[in-house]
Amino acid sequence: MKSAKQALSNHASWKYLVNLVGQDFPLRTNMELVAALKALNGSNLVESVELGRFAWWTNKKTLPLVVTWYKGSMYGAFRREFLHEAVMGTAVGPTRDLMLKPRNIMHPDEFYFPTLAYNIKLRLPGACVNTPSPESEVGYNYLAKFVIWGGYNVTCTT
């Protein structure tokens, strides 16, 4: 949220925020990344899965506005207009307040952007119109980076 707020307060011209963790290394050149973001055709790139085994992390809270919970990553490529609504918009305010209230749910950063991005009824810019990938495919659809999370049966050959 802090990086999104900082980016939004910057008056420079940008269309997407690619949110990475400090230990990430890009897999694409800047030119390749720009081409890939253009190919998104205005969509956000947000890793997400249906709640499933993570349901207990939400403390069985019901979200306002009949919003469905989704779990995923806070790292992705987000349209500027999407971030503006997610961070400052009044339409998602009740959902934002519940999800980001301290100690209300476990790991709110892993729920917030995926939940907003996959609830098409919220009508946020760049929202995902398809349901998320099955959990077995999560982590393998990164556009610009790759992360080997604990428990993945993948080894790094370098």
Q: How far apart are CA 118 and CA 10, in angstroms?
A: 27
**15: pLDDT strictly greater than 80:** yes
**Is residue 38 in a domain?**
yes
pTM of the full structure: 0.79
Domain containing 57: what range? Answer: 2-137
The confidence score (pLDDT) of residue 151 equals 66
- Pick 47 or 31 by higher pLDDT: 31
Band (pLDDT 50/70/90 cuts) for residue 101 is confident
**Is residue 151 in a domain?**
no
Query: What DSSP character marks residue 125?
Result: T
Q: Work out the burial of residue 73: count CB atoms within 10 Å of its CB; fewer than 13 is exposed, 13-18 middle, 19 or more buried.
A: buried
Q: What is the pLDDT of residues 57-96, one digit of tens each?
A: 665 776 767 888 788 888 888 999 999 999 999 888 888 8
* Share of residues in the chain with pLDDT > 90 (%): 16
Mean pLDDT of the chain: 78
**Is residue 146 in a domain?**
no
**Is residue 144 in a domain?**
no
End-to-end CA distance of the chain: 33
**Is residue 128 in a domain?**
yes
* Share of residues in the chain with pLDDT > 70 (%): 70
**Do residues 148 and 25 lie in contact, with contact meaning Cβ atoms separated by under 8 Å?**
no
**Is residue 10 in a domain?**
yes
Total domain count, the chain: 1
The confidence score (pLDDT) of residue 132 equals 61
